[in-house]
């Protein structure tokens, strides 16, 4: 398996041509900010041929890539059918990313070193942002997630495989974290100490959603799995949301994971990559706008229990992501790409600080959720 730091032009071009029909490659450049996969924008040599996205799936994380592709196909097929028969988003542009077949009709290409390559249509005249630009943008992000959930609300979860066992199961992350801690040899730095203390003081949050599933209060539904702000495409022209991208994590789960993940990424004006972690705060007013947009389309299928668990779920998902980053930092950064020394530690500090800020405003967040019921 090649290292994650470098792909030669030759390697990339070799992969790209598997998805091309007789057209030369003009340019290939790295695209987006994903923490797991590598994504490249490929521009083709003939003017009339559209650019497309070439991706190398991280098969250390997605150990069953065929199932990942099968899930995406089930979801996109279902959404296409829904769009033909209902009017949920009939008044706006709404697009679904498409896989491109290889020249011999397959949905991916494996290179001799075992790399798993696939290609997707590039949705033009659209953009993503890493930080919310204002209330309209926040409502659009919420609307996109609500649309995604609404379009999938009648897809039986039996049609989706669990492609990432343990994903969003906070108690399982804690168990692994305890193992990593047990094997730790070096003395923690002051920032690591802060994280260690934070986890110890708040580990009681971890079982909330798993208990809710066990007790039958919440049920599994098809979820996106990674609906952070920069997975929602915005139309350049109208400013309206037009797609949810990055469908690798679609699987059965709780919509609370998705809503929590969306809010923790939208309501942090410094973004999840800031090093200024001490200044990170959760902005409940942005949260309100995201939820207003979400409920505009999703209220019809939300149960009272769905609302009950939301405030705590938002806090939990920030805590969980912090724990995942921190664990990876302690464990040699083998899961999340790290661009500099301490990168995953800073990411952890940001999420823990966010969870702390959510905790200190939990009554206000509860009141916002209650307003929307």
Stretch that binds ligand GN1, among 31-39, 40-48, 68-76, 364-372 (CB under 6 A): 31-39
For residue 320, state whether it binds ligand GN1 (rule: CB under 6 A): no
Kindly give the interhelix angle for 190-202 and 170-182, rounded to the nearest 10 degrees.
140
Say how far residue 372 (Cα) sits from the centre of its chain.
25
Could you tell me the CA-to-CA distances from 203 to 49, 64, 104, 199, 366 in Å, in that order? 52, 31, 50, 6, 21
Sign of torsion, CA 144 149 155 158? positive
Q: In the stretch 89-118, what mask flags binding to Mg ion with x, by CB under 5 A?
A: ------------------------------
For residue 35, state whether it binds ligand GN1 (rule: CB under 6 A): yes
Stretch that binds Mg ion, among 65-73, 79-87, 200-208, 224-232 (CB under 5 A): 224-232
User: CB 208 → ligand GN1: shortest distance, Å?
Assistant: 18
Residue in 160, 321, 327, 345 binding ligand GN1, rule: CB under 6 A: 321
Stretch that binds ligand GN1, among 33-41, 177-185, 216-224, 362-370 (CB under 6 A): 33-41
Question: Can you give the C-alpha Rg of the chain in angstroms?
Answer: 21
Stretch that binds ligand GN1, among 19-27, 30-38, 117-125, 235-243 (CB under 6 A): 30-38
Taking the chain, what is the end-to-end CA distance rounded to the nearest angstrom? 50
HSE, CB side, 13 Å, CA atoms: give it for residue 73. 11
For residue 246, state whether it binds Mg ion (rule: CB under 5 A): yes
**Which one of Mg ion, ligand GN1, none is in contact with 202 (Cβ closer than 5 to 8 A by kind)?**
none
246: left (phi over 0), alpha (psi -120 to 50) or beta: left
216, 221, 225, 230: CA torsion to nearest 10: -120
Residue in 16, 20, 42, 61 binding ligand GN1, rule: CB under 6 A: 61
For residue 249, state whether it binds ligand GN1 (rule: CB under 6 A): yes
Count of residues of this chain found to bind ligand GN1 when the rule CB under 6 A is applied:
11
Say how far residue 307 (Cα) sits from the centre of its chain.
21
Find out whether 56 and 38 touch, Cβ atoms under 8 Å. Answer: yes
For residue 226, state whether it binds ligand GN1 (rule: CB under 6 A): yes
Instruction: Tell me which residue of 333, 350, 353 sits closest to 342, measured CA to CA.
Output: 333
HSE, CB side, 13 Å, CA atoms: give it for residue 337. 14
User: CB 246 → ligand GN1: shortest distance, Å?
Assistant: 5
280: tokens are: 């990170």
17: tokens are: 């041509």
For residue 320, state whether it binds Mg ion (rule: CB under 5 A): no
**Which one of Mg ion, ligand GN1, none is in contact with 140 (Cβ closer than 5 to 8 A by kind)?**
none
Residue in 4, 11, 25, 36 binding ligand GN1, rule: CB under 6 A: 36
For residue 171, state whether it binds ligand GN1 (rule: CB under 6 A): no
Which residues lie near Mg ion (CB under 5 A)? 226, 246
Which residues lie near ligand GN1 (CB under 6 A)? 34-36, 61, 226, 228, 246, 249, 261, 272, 321
């Amino acid at each position: 398996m090649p290292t994650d730091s470098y792909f030669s032009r030759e390697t990339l071009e070799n992969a790209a041509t598997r998805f091309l029909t007789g057209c030369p490659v003009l340019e290939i450049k790295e695209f987006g900010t994903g923490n797991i996969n590598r994504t490249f924008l490929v521009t083709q040599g003939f003017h009339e041929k559209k650019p497309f996205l070439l991706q190398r799936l991280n098969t250390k994380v997605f150990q069953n890539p065929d199932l990942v592709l099968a899930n995406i196909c089930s979801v996109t097929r279902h959404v296409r059918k829904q769009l033909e028969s209902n009017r949920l988003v009939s008044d706006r542009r709404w697009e679904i990313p498409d896989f491109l077949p290889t020249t011999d009709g397959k949905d991916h290409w494996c290179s001799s070193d075992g790399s798993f390559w696939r290609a997707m249509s590039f949705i033009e005249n659209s953009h993503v942002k890493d930080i919310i630009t204002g209330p309209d943008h926040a409502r659009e992000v919420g609307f996109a997630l609500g649309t995604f959930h609404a379009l999938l609300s009648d897809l039986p979860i039996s049609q989706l495989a669990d492609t990432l066992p343990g994903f969003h199961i906070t108690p399982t992350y804690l168990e692994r974290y305890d193992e990593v801690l047990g094997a730790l040899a070096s003395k923690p730095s002051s920032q690591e100490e802060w994280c260690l203390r934070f986890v110890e003081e708040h580990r009681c949050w971890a079982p909330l959603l798993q208990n809710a599933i066990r007790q039958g209060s919440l049920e599994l539904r098809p979820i996106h799995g990674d609906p952070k702000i920069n997975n929602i495409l915005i139309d350049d022209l109208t400013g309206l949301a037009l797609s949810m991208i990055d469908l690798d994590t679609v699987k059965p789960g709780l919509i609370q994971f998705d809503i929590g993940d969306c809010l923790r990424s939208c309501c942090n004006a410094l973004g999840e990559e800031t090093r200024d972690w001490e200044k990170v705060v959760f902005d409940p007013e942005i949260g309100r706008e995201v939820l207003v947009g979400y409920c505009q389309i999703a209220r019809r299928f939300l149960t009272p229990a769905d609302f009950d668990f939301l405030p705590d779920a938002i806090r939990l998902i920030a805590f969980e992501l912090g724990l995942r980053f921190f664990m990876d930092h302690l464990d040699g950064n083998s899961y999340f790409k790290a661009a500099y020394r301490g990168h995953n530690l800073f990411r952890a500090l940001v999420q823990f600080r966010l969870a702390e800020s959510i905790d200190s405003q939990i009554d206000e967040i509860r009141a916002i959720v209650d307003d929307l019921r």
